[in-house]
Amino acid sequence: MCLAVPGRVVEIAERDGARMAVVDFGGVVKDVCLEYLPDLRVGEYAIVHVGFALQRLDEESARRTLDLFAEIGLLQEEFGDPWEAAAAAVREEQQ
């Protein structure tokens, strides 16, 4: 939960009174709040944590981190279905 994932801003729009963006995390796309990095632009990369862009990141380090996260399964952990994981754990316990 505390790890943040780099993503690329695809689109920016005002929504529900907040500056929001669509951000691409190596194929997974999420809504992200830009209130803490209001001058972030389309095409730029940022470190995103629980739906908030927290700091700008250069493209090369962003891509390197994303590749590493994909390789070690962290993207699945961050964006996968937690109910499924919890249910699987319970099933194994009961066996």
Partner 1 sequence: MKYLEDFQNPELAAGLLADIRATVTRPWALMEVCGGQTHTIIRQGIDQLLPEEVELIHGPGCPVCVTPLEVIDRALAIAARPEVIFCSFGDMLRVPGSDRDLFRVRSEGGDVRVVYSPLDALKVARENPHREVVFFGIGFETTAPPNAMAVHQARKQGLRNFSMLVSHVRVPPAIEAIMTSPDCRVQGFLAAGHVCSVMGTGEYPELAERHRVPIVVTGFEPLDILEGIRRTVRQLERGEHTVENAYARAVRPEGNPAARAMLEDVFEVADRAWRGIGVIPRSGWRLSPRYRDHDAEYRFDVTGITTREPAQCRSGEVLQGLLKPDQCEAFGTTCTPRTPLGATMVSSEGACAAYYLYRRLSTPAVPREASPVG
Q: How far is the CB of 41 from partner 1 (least distance, A)?
A: 16
What does the radius of gyration of the chain's CA atoms come to, in whole angstroms?
Answer: 15
Please tell me the distance from the alpha carbon of residue 81 to that of residue 68, in angstroms, as a whole number. 20
Q: How far is the CB of 45 from partner 1 (least distance, A)?
A: 10
- Determine which residue in the list 9, 25, 26, 65 makes contact with partner 1, applying CB under 8 A: 65
Q: How far is the CB of 4 from partner 1 (least distance, A)?
A: 5
Q: Does 37 bind partner 1 (CB under 8 A)?
A: yes
Q: Whose structure tokens read 């190596």?
A: 26
Please tell me the distance from the alpha carbon of residue 47 to that of residue 36, in angstroms, as a whole number. 11
* Structure token pair of residue 73: 């399964």
CB distance 59 to 45 below 8 Å: yes
Applying CB under 8 A, which residues contact partner 1?
A: 1-4, 16-18, 30-33, 35-38, 47, 49-52, 54-55, 57-58, 61, 64-65, 67-68, 71-73, 77, 79, 82-83, 85-87, 89-90, 92-93
